[in-house]
Structure 1
Amino acid sequence: MTQSDPVIEWLLDSDPSIRWQVMRDLIDAPERNWMAERAKVETEGWGARLLACRDEDGQWAGGAFLPAGFDPQEWREHGQPWTATTFSLSQLREFGLDPACEQARHAVELIGANARWEEGGQPFWQGEVEECINGRTVADGAYFGIDVSPIVDRLAGERLDDGGWNCERINGSHRSSFASTINVLEGLLEFEKSTGSTPRSRQARRTGEEFLLERHLFRRLGTGEPADERFLQFLHPNRWRYDILRALDYFRASTILTGAAPDRRLSEAIDHLRSRRLQDGRWPLDWSLPGRVWFEVDDGQGEPSRWITLRAMRVLRWWDAELSIDT
């Protein structure tokens, strides 16, 4: 796969946040080259634009989970707003902002000093109460060099009997949620990348993975029917929502970290991913979440998406390479 591929050329004709990942994950560019491209996220394009949206105190939109002065009617009429600190940090992590760069270090320091969760007023890096929020907080904190081990330990103790997590646990839910589970798994994986993890966190990650694998990433365990048809449609940005591409990208990263072979129970989701490829080699954005954003990073619902295409191509490249080794 080279730059002469028209899809690769289309991906490279984009923002630095996409280009550096294409260079690393799809065309095997030398590390010095993709690292130089990655450094541009701080100063150019979407990364620089999002960094410029910060308040003087380091937060985005004046809040941790919700913008300052948020009116619940906005959520009812226009959808959940995505401009506050937690979602902005997660998007910078997706862009690949170098956690060692000056603006990243300054941002996380100010957030630690000034951001408080609306739910209980606790400091941002101590976490909230919902598992899916805490999963993303762990992912962001570990990525940006914060000690989030107390939140990790709490999440490990909040697993349900089926091995996963559900944000409705405190309201009596006994069954894990696909969405809550993937949010926590991504956090635990980032923690493992950053710290080497703990036996307890690794065990929690294994049971969470098994929850998804037993269900082939999208099926109900009891009936075999799709748990939600939207799990098979591709979404970006995911925020807290689940789809099979998000899960496949997670399992790719997990096996690369651990050296494990891909689990064959992923094959049905892989086949579905292949089936959704357009004739020109790209993948479409099936839907996006309503609600306030700082700016758009896709060309619109139904249009080919660079983000979806990047993730799909690197998942299939990983799967096919591992399969050829195995056979």
Structure 2
Amino acid sequence: MNAKILDWLLKGDPAVIWQVQRDLLDEPVDIFEATRQRLSTEGWVAQFLSYQDPEGTWGGGLYGPKWLSTTYTLLTLRRLGLPPNHPQAQKGCQLLLDGGYMPDEGINYIRNPKIHHSETCITGMVLSLLAYFRYADERLPNIAAHLLRQQMPDGGWNCRSYEGDTHSSFHTTLSTMEGLWEYEKTFGLQSEIGAARARAHEFLWRHRIYRSHRTGEIFDCKMTGLSFPPRWRYDLLRVLDYFWDCNAPRDPRTTEGVELLRSKQRKDGTWPLNSGMSGRFYFHMEKIGQPSRMNTLRALRVLKWWQP
């Protein structure tokens, strides 16, 4: 590991530092958890927490406006590592669950008399939040079971399956896998969920993680960008970071994606921040086009996983 890059990373926000200590330096738990405890009072995480409305939402809404809303703010806080059980996150989780839980046991925030079903991508994202923040509610197992019922024959998920789509979506599949994995991390490994995630892994590997299964071409060039936070969009680093987190098998069909990630490393040893999705922001954590500590951290831990 490049000592100069590590030193640069350790001069960043506490949200970066604690993950460097845990994932790159293999520091003892008491060391990185001590850093993690600073998040709610220092840096990016403290800033996001300060924007919570008196009602407990962010941006005045549950799913919108993008990217100010409760859903997307909590997704960012999850990726930055806000400790579970934080009271502000707990309040946000309560509102997300109570405001979106549907009769079919998934989540949807669209209130339309013609829509009676959940939205799979949103359900996966919200489950990742409820599980990560350890929100205690008897409906969580129902949400996980709902997602298992929505898995498609090809192994993935698609939020448009209700409209007749028969091929899974990269975006929905990854959001669902992340939700189910967070659920397993919190509540313990479960054979049915593990088998579902394994089928989803195979779906992605058949596509070499970012290519069309029909043409072999890159499915969407935006998937090869390095944005942070990724919001709902699937991208190369997001899926590789998921594989790192769950210690997925190092399937050779992942090799091309890993090498593409490696090729994006700059001569100074860093990875840049590419432009993400348009929308409204509370503030920008890093500058587009400049070296990104979050992307460099994530890329380095992926490479460490790939070549242990």
Matched residue type, 1:265: R
Q: State the 1:286 CA deviation.
A: 2.2
- Correspondent of 1:119 among 92, 110, 114: 110
For 1:218 and 1:118, how far apart are their aligned partners in 2?
Answer: 29
SS class of match (2:38): helix
Q: Of 48, 70, 75, which aligns to 1:85?
A: 70
Runs of 4+ in 1 over 4 A off after TM superposition: 109-117
1:197 offset after TM fit, Å? 4.3
Instruction: State the AA in 2 paired with 1:32.
Output: D
SS at match of 2:61: coil
* Deviation at residue 51 of structure 1 after TM alignment: 0.8
1:114 CA displacement: 6.8
Is contact 2:17–2:35 with CA below 8 Å preserved after alignment? yes
- Contact in 1 for aligned 2:206/2:213 (Cα 8 Å): yes
CA distance in 2, matches of 1:131, 1:113: 17
**1:59–1:114: 8 Å Cα contact kept in structure 2?**
no
Distance 1:22 1:205, change over 3 A: same
Task: Say whether 1:264 aligns with 2:252.
Answer: yes
Distance (whole Å) between structure 2 residues aligned to residue 310 and residue 231 of structure 1? 19
Q: Give the aligned residue type for 2:125.
A: R
**Matching residue of 2:234:** 242
Q: 1:202-233: per-residue Cα shift (whole Å, max 9, x none)?
A: 22211111110111101111221111122222
1:110 CA drift (Å): 5.8
Residue 45 (1) aligns with residue 30 (2): no
Gaps of 5+ in 2: 102-107
**1:316 positional shift:** 0.4
Report the AA paired with residue 286 of structure 2.
D
> Residues of 2 paired with 1:162 and 1:318: CA distance?
27
Q: What are the within-5 Å matches in structure 2 for residues 274-313 of structure 1?
A: 274-300=262-288, 302-313=289-300
Aligned twin of 1:230: 222
CA contact (8 A) 1:98 1:104 kept: no
Measure how far apart 1:136 and its partner are.
Answer: 0.6
Aligned residue for 2:76, secondary structure, equals: helix
> What is the aligned partner in structure 1 of residue 145 from structure 2?
153
Secondary structure at 1:119's aligned position in 2?
coil
Note if 1:31 corresponds to 2:29. Answer: yes
Between the aligned partners of 2:61 and 2:201, the Cα distance in structure 1 is 32
Which of 194, 197, 204 matches 1:202? 194
Alignment partner for residue 174 of structure 1, among 150, 161, 166? Answer: 166
SS at match of 2:150: coil
Secondary structure of the residue aligned to 1:40 is: coil
Query: TM-score by structure 2 length?
Result: 0.90
Q: Is the 1:58–1:114 contact (alpha carbons within 8 Å) kept by the matching residues of 2?
A: no
1:135 corresponds in structure 2 to 124
Which residue number in structure 2 is paired with residue 63 of structure 1? 61
The C-alpha deviation readout for 1:68-116, integer Å capped at 9, x for no partner, is xxxxxxxxxxxxx210110011111011011134444454446556788
Q: Which amino acid aligns with 1:141?
A: L
Q: Which one of 99, 122, 129 corresponds to residue 84 of structure 2?
A: 99
2-side partners of 1:184 and 1:113: how far apart? 20
Local SS of the residue matching 1:42: coil
Instruction: State the distance in 1 between where 2:218 and 2:181 align.
Output: 26
For residue 208 of structure 2, give the secondary structure of its aligned residue in structure 1: coil
Q: Is the 8 A contact 1:63 1:115 kept in 2?
A: no
State the Cα RMSD in Å: 1.9
- Tell whether the 8 Å contact from 1:57 to 1:110 is kept in structure 2 after alignment: no
In 2, the alpha carbon distance for the partners of 1:7 and 1:141 equals 34
Alpha-carbon distance in structure 1 between the residues aligned to 2:214 and 2:97 = 44
Distance of 2:183 and 2:100 partners within structure 1: 21
Question: 2:52 pairs with 51, 54, 66, which one?
Answer: 54
